[in-house]
Amino acid sequence: MLKVVMARLQQKHRTIKYPDAPPPSVPDRFRGRPVIDAAKCSDNCIKCAESCPTGAITIENKKIIDLGKCLFCTDCVDVCPNGAISYSNDYRLSVSKRDDLIVPADQQEMVLAAQLNKKIKALFGRSLKLRQVSAGGCNACESDVNVLTTVGWDLGRFGIQFVASPRHADGVLITGPVSKNMKLALMKTYDATPAPKIVIVVGACAISGGIFAGHDEVCDGAGDLLPVDLYIPGCPPHPLTILNGLLQVIGRIDGTVDRR
């Protein structure tokens, strides 16, 4: 017992202080929001769009990145001859509307997620209970969601918890591309969750189908099946990105626009 106490004293406080303090530093290999430097980008070059495995980069009048499809891989970075594409360290990526994930290359700001309307927030009170559904996911997004329940993040201190039964939940958090085999289970879970309820999708698969988009055995995410209130992009999104999105939707973090 003494060894346990001594170890705990040496470890000190292990839960991050965010959002009351600056977030922990991200590693050098962290990939936040992709950025295209317009000064380096050639208008005639389409190599980035051709290399993207999910078609996240499109070129109309200008280059546009769909963060809902982006896998945050390095294919576009590696193929760009001018080094115009890079990943920032901005972890704030969550939005309330699907269209807000489609960002022109030269747009400096993102419209971040808005908090729940006052009526729903008043009903939920100071807590948010979520039923998590892995709808055919590879367990990457599921793992990063689970990390938030550990002592380092302690999601419960914000009143946010994952529950076993949808009947005890305020909403559903979905990961995975929603395979045909999981569609019925997902819809039953949603129907069993009492109204008013919210829907949160985590990861490129749950938003757009990810690398499985267009396959006969998936539904290309939950967007066409359920009314989504919060989109958290990534493949998988970093736990800090997920936490930031959850805190935004419950109003724990003020501001809906990224003003960096």
pLDDT tens per residue, range 107-124: 778 889 988 877 777 777
Rg of the chain over Cα atoms, rounded to whole angstroms, equals: 19
Is the pLDDT at 61 greater than 80? The verdict is: no
Q: What is the mean pLDDT of residues 205-227?
A: 96
Q: What is the mean pLDDT of residues 26-30?
A: 89
- pLDDT more than 70, % of the chain: 95
**Would you identify the CATH topology of the domain 34-88?**
Alpha-Beta Plaits (3.30.70)
CA neighbor of 168 nearest in space, from 218, 118, 114, 128 = 128
Parallel/antiparallel/unpaired status of strands 34-36 and 57-59: unpaired
Token representation of residue 36 = 């295209």
- Give me the pLDDT at residue 260, please: 36
- Confidence class for position 254, pLDDT limits 50, 70, 90: low
DSSP summary character for residue 85:
E
Q: Where are the domains of the chain?
A: 1-27+89-260, 34-88
**Would you identify the CATH topology of the domain 1-27+89-260?**
Rossmann fold (3.40.50)
- Confidence class for position 92, pLDDT limits 50, 70, 90: very high
- Give me the pLDDT at residue 108, please: 75
Question: Cα separation of 69 and 103, whole Å?
Answer: 12
Q: How far is CA 92 from CA 32, 132, 161, 211, 252, in A?
A: 8, 22, 21, 23, 14
- Give me the pLDDT at residue 60, please: 77
Is the pLDDT at 199 greater than 80? The verdict is: yes
CA neighbor of 163 nearest in space, from 120, 202, 132, 119 = 132
The model's pLDDT over 127-143, given as tens digits with 9 standing for 90+, comes to 899 999 999 999 999 99
Q: What is the mean pLDDT of residues 206-226?
A: 96
Question: Cα separation of 233 and 175, whole Å?
Answer: 11
- Give me the pLDDT at residue 256, please: 43
- Give me the pLDDT at residue 187, please: 98
Is the pLDDT at 95 greater than 80? The verdict is: yes
Is the pLDDT at 172 greater than 50? The verdict is: yes
Average pLDDT, the chain: 90
Q: What is the strand order of the sheet 102-104 is part of?
A: 57-59, 63-66, 102-104
- Confidence class for position 258, pLDDT limits 50, 70, 90: very low
- Give me the pLDDT at residue 253, please: 78
Q: Which residues pair with 35 in a beta bridge?
A: 86
Q: What is the mean pLDDT of residues 62-87?
A: 93
* 137 alpha carbon, distance to own chain's centre: 14
- Give me the pLDDT at residue 117, please: 79
Q: Alpha-carbon dihedral of residues 245, 250, 256, 259, nearest 10 degrees?
A: -60
Three-class SS of residue 145?
helix
24 versus 57: the higher-pLDDT residue is 57
